[in-house]
Structure 1
Amino acid sequence: NGNIVFHGRIDDQIKIRGFRVELGEIESKLADEPGVAQAAVVLRSDDGIERLVAFVVPEPGVAVDGPALRAALREKLPDTTFLITSRVLLNLPGERDFAVAPLPTPEPDTAIPEMEKFASTALFCDRANLQIGQVNAPAIGAICRRLDGIPLALELAAARAKVLSPNQILERLSTHPDFLQSRERGVPERHRTLRATIEWSVDLLPTEVRNFFARLCVFRGSFSLEGAENVCAPGLCESWEALDLLEQLRSHSLLQVLETPGGTRYRLLEMLREWGENALNASEWESLRARHLTYFTALVCENQDVISLLENGALLRAENANFRAALSYGMQLDEVQLTLC
């Protein structure tokens, strides 16, 4: 009809502050730097101020040297702004840490209309092409809690819904270590199974931090700094070094830090805890459980009077899962001495 419709450019050239810029040329310079696997540059407008922003993806197993990258590009590109995403803090001046928490999961007694509002159940059902109903709601909620709301784990579990019901998926999560895996083409090797993803992340840790991480699996639920110092540090590091090791695990996104009425506590996601338990040899596992039993027995003995219970009630309630685990181990010993402190 003679009308001409303009859809845009067929190249990546943009105009900013009176200059025409080829985004691909900037991306090429970024990709040439050591340790950079992929790079993307976009035009972004913040409060009416246009700027070019670069996104950098490091090569597997490599931490991008942020200061060196910035210094190299500062010579080539004027007025640069960097947005770098990483599992590890780069400790750069002005760096801001945004922790990405797992998706919220429903409690066992959550009603179906409320369950549908949780991001974890919504993701699982979307990928599994399922609707939440009276029959499958308990299993779907349990799967989300079992996988701690980890998006990758939920997607791998949902892929099994083509041939298994939610109840069958839940059952196999506890009995088959490599049940969560992907056969999708083009998926990086470290994302094909949840185990591979965890191993890839842990392999980036220094040896001492990796060993400390595995020892933390002896705790159930959350734990305190004092617990980590007394149970996990012996034979590996000085007790005062435990805080630094916890901080390194937090900076690698392998540890959750919780603020509770009883003070700051720490927690491993259940899938990480199970991996750590399997990484320990039998003798080290027994030594850990023995120190765990000793520590929590002493904690109970120190808080038997009424005043102590009132003062430390929040702390003791937070340790319920660890008290149960310690009691369970004590009952399994060949010679059990039940002593009233």
Structure 2
Amino acid sequence: MGLAVTGIGAAAPAPSLSNDQMSQFVDTSDEWIRSRTGICDRHLADAHTSLTDISTQAAQAALTMAGLQPSELDLIVLATSTPDDLFGSACQIQAALGASNAVAFDMTAACSGFVFGLVTAAQFIRTGVYRNILLIGADMLSRWVDWSDRRTCILFGDGAGAVVLQANDRDRLLGFELRSDGTQNHYLNLAYQAQPQDLTPEISVAHGRFHPITMNGQEVYRFAVKRVPEVIEKALFRAGLRVEQIDWFVLHQANQRILDAVAQRLQIPPEKVISNLAHYGNTSAASIPLALDAKVRQGQVGCGDTIAVAGFGAGLTWGAAIFQWGR
């Protein structure tokens, strides 16, 4: 049993925060942000917009493109680090869609979440367990940013992207490679910090909160420009393909300098590297489907095009997958 990617959708909150607007409350400037990241503005959810809201919008668009009814879904996988409910938000999306026959669960691999989710979902189809799967990558990192820290607050935006995976006679997932290294976790995290609370003289429990995102930008940059080309090459090897046979590269939209460095190392023509970073920023697990959706809807990505996707981020985690668009 093989699989095909038959639909895609994306959604982002309406409010957009420009670099100039950001400079009104943090010590930065449009030139400083653009030159270091390539970001011009980003979409931010207000207090009344939930992750479930934008995920459902992206999912509905993907289902429509695939010609699939929510009741036909067997599984919903939500890749996110920022659920509305710490117990998970996939079931809320299932209810919002009316996908009453679908199993639903969250998975977390930070900015690598979409790639890890793609590979995970594929195994349910390849083993014949399920036929129709909705994979969503969505994050609202604005909830967890320190808006006084110009090293991190300039980077992140909110968004959601979704794809439909369906059983297919020909397997369109050609190869993948996933990696993790927990020894580098301290370079990028959103950590829980416990404070002791005494229940009795003998028993104390941890009661605390999550701190805002912390990141060592230089180390993350070094990690990405070294490991991402490697993992793409390994995925290509597993697919039996060469770099020049790939039609489109969609890397996690973290920093334009990282995208450029990876493309240079692999000798990828710039026109093959899809980027929407300038107007969305880093949307974590949403970034790959959010960027790909625009190209598909513009008609630039066609049926049979070979696409390489690569995610990298907190964990640290990184991975790549090679697939062909459509049946």
Superposition TM-score tier, normalisation by shorter sequence: under 0.3
Q: Highest relative contact order (Cα 8 Å, sep 6+), 1 or 2?
A: 2
Flag the structure with higher strand content.
2
- Please report the TM-score for the alignment, with normalisation by the length of structure 2: 0.26
Rg larger in structure:
1
TM-score (norm 1): 0.25
